Structure 1
């Protein structure tokens, strides 16, 4: 017999909140308009605020009131709005600002509207919507969206650095290659913390164009070389550490293994590979990695992996997983070469940074 559903109005309310996309989209628009930046010195009448951010006063009022009802911004008097603790991280000058973290990017939004395709087929919604184009290939022809994506991805680096850096043992390392570095904010933070460390940033040419400025602002440009290239091509040889931060989850097993094999071919026998990723666990606990797994499915074609899956992946590439250190944001996986590289060990033992500070 059918089981009579349990009447639980609190569950209905909670589901409505979780399924709503009005609030998330409105937050993202407030980020685009930099509304929080205008309220740093205190509340403002909405007509003044609208003039400063280039918005319609009545429409802006409606958006701010919707967010104020959720604790993001506050209407201190009618049509006068200010910041709340929940709105503070939307400021550009916040130490852990998330303003750049929430861009409204049409290619992504169109893809999420076709998530059903991914769940039915296991294929990316992004490729389905955009004629088979891979997510990162799309950015090569859309530089504005590329910059927005990279800034979004790197906006969380101050928080990730704070949580992950203590788990990264770089005390004896002198050379590091950041494989898939983005604009370099993460490795800039590492170089600031480790004064004896030199690094190479490697990412696609259209991605690393902003890296020299990022490194210069951090005061570490003299200890870092920027190279435009693909991690599917041969990598700089002989580094102490090869860093892959949030790279492997973007790719299915075949491509992920290819990236790791390139690292193995470039590594010395005593090199280390450090992977910063979410590690999936079974069970019903809240886990950011599980949520990011759906994003990887819809957009990238990769996935978040479990510890056994990481071990198998690394083993296929010629590495042995030495340890996993969980942190409050991601996990740090450290692996070492286990067998000679499949095509012979190409490592030369040369320092990874022969001409620190040179950019390309």
Structure 2
């Protein structure tokens, strides 16, 4: 280091140290999510001793985790050693619409392990999941029913936001919609529930799509919604007026994404529509959750988030014309038509 190099400004140093502590906040959120603390803490103060007794934890250790989270607005220490809920902690409740509880459980475990090898992903250009899990990410989910269930519940938490974006599309001239890679069917169920003239089908891998049937039954949509198992890379897709893909293409690099898009292009009607519910990354230094999500794709799957120009180019190469992007709080509705 040059002799005349000035010392790091103390404020800058503290800011960097705070950024470095992000992994501790992730694990603190994961811990309280697994223990279900947000389901217990409400408007009235609850002591750490009471909480620890209910979740079988050590009171002192639990207190140390909760006070860190309270410093970020997740819970509030209303009195020494006693906590109440806040809007942020409410987002971790199991019964909260759009709950983040299972996302915290999954990102603090499976995703966390893969992200710990990010350097390797940057050096090789390959996802780290296979090194961490001994197999690809989706093979890992298929081999472990508990992890698969946690992942599906994590995705369902955001599916409500994606379904809200999809519901606002003009469905008046549509009869049948297929959710490609539809998981447990949450997005399609939301659309069909809001538009009674529609029928639809959830299409996904056989071990995944089995989770959709209970969701469809609970919504009372068995007469209007079917399920179909298959591979969206190679299998013929269900006939429909509109194909919806909610956060599917971000799982894959451009080559694999083009394979999916070309399969959609082969199956879609000439006047059909493709709706993508995806992030659109801003250019430049603008902060965006999409840029963080892009790193999750890097380590787990080798996929990526994309800018508007990247989406336009990818769709064009896959046989589609990008018609419109409608920004929404949690996602974007990207409408495309066969070119």
Question: TM-score, structure 2 length as denominator?
Answer: 0.92
Query: CA 1:237/1:85 → structure 2, altered by over 3 Å: closer, same or farther?
Result: closer
Which residue number in structure 2 is paired with residue 253 of structure 1? 254
Who is 1:153 aligned against?
Answer: 155
- CA distance in structure 1 between the partners assigned to 2:237 and 2:8 by the alignment: 61
Q: 1:106 to 1:49 in 2, by over 3 A?
A: closer
Q: Secondary structure at the match of 2:191?
A: helix
Unaligned runs of 5+ in 1: 339-360
1:117 to 116, 120, 128: 120
Residue pair 1:250, 1:302 contacting (<8 A) in 2 also: yes
Distance 2:95 2:132 in 1: 36
Partner of 1:345: none
For residue 145 of structure 1, report the CA deviation from its aligned partner: 0.6
- Classify 1:41/1:325 alpha carbon distance in 2 versus 1 (closer, same or farther; 3 Å): closer
Match in the other structure for 1:50: 52
Q: Deviations over 1:92-111 (max 9, x none)?
A: 22233211221146443332
Q: 1:44 to 1:206 in 2, by over 3 A?
A: same
Aligned 8 A contact 1:143 1:206 in 2: no
**Paired residues for 1:300-319 under 5 Å:** 300-319=301-320
Shift of 1:12: 2.7
- Describe the SS at the equivalent of 2:87: coil
Partner of 1:15: 16
Matched residues in 2 for 1:148 and 1:182: separation? 12
1:178–1:201 contact (8 Å) kept in structure 2: yes
Alignment match, 1:134: 136
Task: Provide the aligned length of Structure 1 versus Structure 2.
Answer: 336
CA RMSD between the two structures: 2.1
Name the counterpart of 1:357: none
CA distance in 2, matches of 1:193, 1:106: 35
What whole-Å deviation, never above 9, does each CA across 1:170-222 have from its counterpart, x for those lacking one? 22211011000011111111111111111100111111222111122223232
CA distance in 2, matches of 1:285, 1:166: 28
Deviation of 1:140 after TM superposition, in Å, equals 1.3
Q: 1:167–1:332: 8 Å Cα contact kept in structure 2?
A: no
Shift of 1:41: 5.7
Decide which of 67, 70, 74 is 2:69's aligned counterpart. 67
Q: TM-score, normalised by structure 1?
A: 0.87
Is the contact made by 1:325 and 1:332 (CA closer than 8 Å) also made in structure 2? yes
Contact 1:147/1:207 (8 A) holds in 2:
no
Q: Determine which structure has the larger helix proportion and give its number.
A: 2
Greater alpha carbon shift after TM alignment, 306-315 vs 137-146: 306-315
What is the alpha-carbon distance in structure 1 between the residues aligned to residue 312 and residue 71 of structure 2?
46
- Cα distance in 2 for partners of 1:258, 1:336 equals 17
Q: d(CA) in 1 for partners of 2:272 and 2:254?
A: 23
Is the CA contact (8 Å cut-off) linking 1:234 and 1:266 kept in structure 2? no
Task: Report which structure shows greater RCO (CA 8 Å, sep ≥6).
Answer: 1
Q: CA deviation at 1:4?
A: 4.1
Paired residues of 1:177 and 1:200 also in contact (CA < 8 A): yes
Q: Which stretch shifts more, 120-129 or 38-47? A: 38-47
Once the two structures are superposed, what CA deviation does each residue of 1:92-142 show, in whole Å capped at 9, x if it has no partner?
A: 2223321122114644333211110011121112123344x2211221111
